[in-house]
Amino acid sequence: MPSQPSTHCIFCSRSLAEVGGARITASQNLGLSIRDVRSNAEAAKGGIIRAVSPDAESPAVEFWGNLWDEHSIERALAELRADRQPWLCQICGGRLCSECGSPNRWADGCDVVGDDGSVTHQMIVPTSKRCTNPTCSLYAPS
Ligand SMILES: [Zn+2]
Ligand SMILES: [Zn+2]
C-alpha cells in the first residue's frame, strides 16, 4: 500500500488545500482501488473499465468511471509506482454542496485517503449541515 497521498488531484491537478474536503479514491461512480485490498470501496456501479498492475510485483488496480482516459490512468499508475496513493478532489468527484457548490465536509459513501496514505471509508452521515464554506447556510464547522 502507498505510504502517502499524491500531492494533487489525478484529474485536475488541484491540491487538497485549493479544494478542501477530502481526497476521494473511490465512489460508486468513479475511482480506483487496489484489487487485493478492496474491502470497503462501494462496488463500482458502471463496471470496471480497466484493471492493470503498476509493476510486475503489484496486484492489479481497478479503475471505473467516465473521467478516466489513457493519460489519467497512466498518471495514476506512475503515482502508485512512486509510493503515492492517487485520489480525486471533490470537484472532480462531484461531492459538492447543493446550496453553494463548495466541497462538502464529508464525501458520503466514498473511500478517502489520509495523510499517511491509508484508505478509509466515510460513512453516510445524515445531516443537512455539511458545507465547508463558512458563509453558506449549510456550513458545518467540523
Ligand atoms: Zn480534481
Ligand atoms: Zn455550501
pLDDT tens across the length of the chain (142 residues): 889 999 999 999 999 999 988 999 998 889 999 876 654 455 566 688 899 999 999 999 999 999 999 999 999 999 999 999 999 999 999 999 999 999 998 888 899 999 999 999 888 878 778 899 999 999 998 8
Distance from residue 61's CA to the centre of ligand 2 (Å): 34
pLDDT at 128: 78
Residue 13 lies in a domain: yes
pLDDT at 41: 53
Distance from residue 127's CA to the centre of ligand 2 (Å): 13
Ion ligand 2: residues, CB < 5 A: 97, 99-100, 102, 131, 133, 136, 138
Write out the residue range of the structural domain in which residue 64 sits. Answer: 4-121
Q: Which ligand is nearest to the CA of 137?
A: 2
What CA–CA distance (Å, rounded) separates 105 from 95? 9
pLDDT at 103: 93
Residue 131 lies in a domain: no
Exposure b/e, 21-59, CB count within 10 A at least 16 = b: bbbbbbbebbbbbbeeebeebbebeeeeeeeeebeeeee
Distance from residue 14's CA to the centre of ligand 1 (Å): 6
Residue 86 lies in a domain: yes
Residue 126 lies in a domain: no
Residue 71 lies in a domain: yes
Distance from residue 99's CA to the centre of ligand 1 (Å): 20
Model-level pTM?
0.88
Residue 77 lies in a domain: yes
Distance from residue 30's CA to the centre of ligand 2 (Å): 23
Distance from residue 9's CA to the centre of ligand 2 (Å): 21
pLDDT at 22: 92
pLDDT at 48: 85
Q: Which ligand is nearest to the CA of 103?
A: 2
What CA–CA distance (Å, rounded) separates 95 from 77? 24
Residue 62 lies in a domain: yes
pLDDT at 8: 98
pLDDT at 40: 46
Residue 141 lies in a domain: no
Number of domains into which the chain is organized: 1
